[in-house]
């Protein structure tokens, strides 16, 4: 019976590590910037109930809330813009489907590659039994 060769994992050079790091950072940057470029992002706010001269009562702010706004040097008109601003949480079904497919595809990819590498290590360590 022959002794199996001891597994030696591949060694990556410093240049390879730098290239991998820059590549991953670029992917993160693009992933964060892409929604802004295709029209999504934080610009989709709606203002509900914008009044000409709001009062703390019309903004439904109790005395404690009013005191906190005043600590920030905010008037009812300035605070009303923040209080009445709401984010639009609607989404596109196709974007949800594409996102789900990308995540599922990545998960399947990682499982297949990990399984292949795991089996290679087991074969090298224990051989065919």
**For the chain, which ranges sit under pLDDT 50?**
none
Nearest to 69 by CA among 58, 54, 83: 83
Residue written as tokens 């991998």?
20
pLDDT at position 100, please? 93
pLDDT at position 45, please? 59
Whole-model pTM: value is 0.44
The answer to whether 85 and 92 are in contact (CB under 8 A) is no
């Amino acid at each position: 019976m022959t002794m199996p060769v001891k597994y030696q994992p591949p060694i990556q050079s410093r240049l390879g590590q730098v290239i991998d790091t820059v590549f991953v950072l670029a992917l993160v940057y693009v992933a964060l910037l892409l929604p802004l470029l295709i029209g999504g992002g934080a610009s989709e706010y709606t203002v509900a109930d914008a009044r000409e001269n709001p009062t703390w009562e019309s903004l439904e702010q109790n005395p404690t809330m009013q005191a906190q706004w005043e600590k920030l040097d905010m008037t009812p008109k300035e605070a009303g813009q923040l209080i009445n601003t709401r984010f639009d949480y609607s989404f596109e079904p196709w974007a949800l489907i594409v996102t789900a497919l990308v995540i599922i595809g990545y998960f399947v990819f990682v499982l297949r590659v990990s399984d292949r590498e795991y089996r290679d290590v087991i074969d090298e360590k224990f051989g065919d039994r």
